[in-house]
Amino acid sequence: MLQQVNGHSSVSDAQGGESFREDLQEFLSGEAPLHQLDDLTKVNPVTLETVLRCLQARYMADTFYTNAGCTLVALNPFKPVPQLYSPELMREYHAAPQPQKLKPHIFTVGEQTYRNVKSLIEPVNQSIIVSGESGAGKTWTSRCLMKFYAVVAASPTSWDSHKIAERIEQRILNSNPVMEAFGNACTLRNNNSSRFGKFIQLQLNSAQQMTGAAVQTYLLEKTRVACQASSERNFHIFYQMCKGASADERLQWHLPKGAAFSWLPNSERTLEEDCFEVTREAMLHLGIETPTQNNVFKVRRRAWPLRFGGGDGQPLAQ
């Protein structure tokens, strides 16, 4: 007996489900290798399984960028891939008549926004949103975009223009160690997780040459100073100071040797980001002189209480 549900036969539903499974199997076992699909809009049928299988196949083939219509999907390779971001490749995408016909890349997005600015009689601001979960590679992608614009947004005939673009790029890149020290932390999923949002504005003149930049931060996770999840750490700057301060600085900042800090969980973990000298050098490049740095570090030291020897890890008053 046929069972009617909302006016439709269950036989029809069963046939539809069977047809869908056949389409799914046909796509996954098709002659065209999945890693050759450079746009997820070509996936048919579009399901979570087919999309993930396509991205997995491209990842295994060391192909880390895939289009999804007007959106670019980037996968973190978790290994150095120098040739993927070389200046020669930047110029190739910049010089291409139709860069969208080249392999999907972050440079395609950068070049398209740059051409949008150049092609409009009245220039309109262009925005690129870099989003993703912790460890996806947002910070790295932002660096790649800044390097790309430093190369293409400079006059090919003006040495001064090149130097200006390089200087702006260098100042922006110098801001990264500072922002990461004071705003990044080791979490369960990422050793260098940004605990804030960042808005980077690159400014071009009427000739579309880079003339300035501005960086704004927002949504800083201030509560991390006093509370972290189990096995997570506080902001990098606290560990950098404890591990990198000189003997004189320890006396000046009241950091006696052998002191432990109750709001520094996993202080024994040594990370690549625990590099105090890199942070201090970046601050100097940004115009933050040593006396001002010392005042900043004194303030950071007061942000957590001090205890000596062992203990149960509970916060203590100074």
The reply, when asked if residue 29 is annotated as ligand binding, is: no
String of DSSP letters for 39-102 = BGGG-SS--HHHHHHHHHHHHHTT--EEEETTEEEE---SS--GGGG-HHHHHHHHH-SSGGGS
CA atoms within 13 A on the CB side of 164: 18
The reply, when asked if residue 63 is annotated as ligand binding, is: no
The reply, when asked if residue 139 is annotated as ligand binding, is: yes
Alpha-carbon distance 51 to 71, whole Å? 14
Alpha-carbon distance 24 to 22, whole Å? 5
Nearest to 194 by CA among 213, 181, 211: 181
Tokens describing residue 61:
């083939």
The reply, when asked if residue 212 is annotated as ligand binding, is: no
The reply, when asked if residue 133 is annotated as ligand binding, is: yes
Is the bond into 45 cis (omega within 30 degrees of 0)? yes
Q: What is the DSSP letter of 202?
A: E
Contact predicate 130/117, CB 8 Å: no
The reply, when asked if residue 311 is annotated as ligand binding, is: no
Whole-Å CA distances, 166 to 13, 65, 107: 62, 27, 18
Whole-Å CA distances, 81 to 65, 76, 86: 13, 11, 10
Tokens describing residue 9:
């036969």
Buried b (16+ CB within 10 A) or exposed e, 2-12: eeeeeeeeeee
Nearest to 53 by CA among 16, 81, 25: 25
The phi, psi pair for 184, rounded to 5°, reads -110, 155
The reply, when asked if residue 134 is annotated as ligand binding, is: yes
The reply, when asked if residue 136 is annotated as ligand binding, is: yes
Binding-site positions for ATP read 132-139
Binding-site positions read 132-139
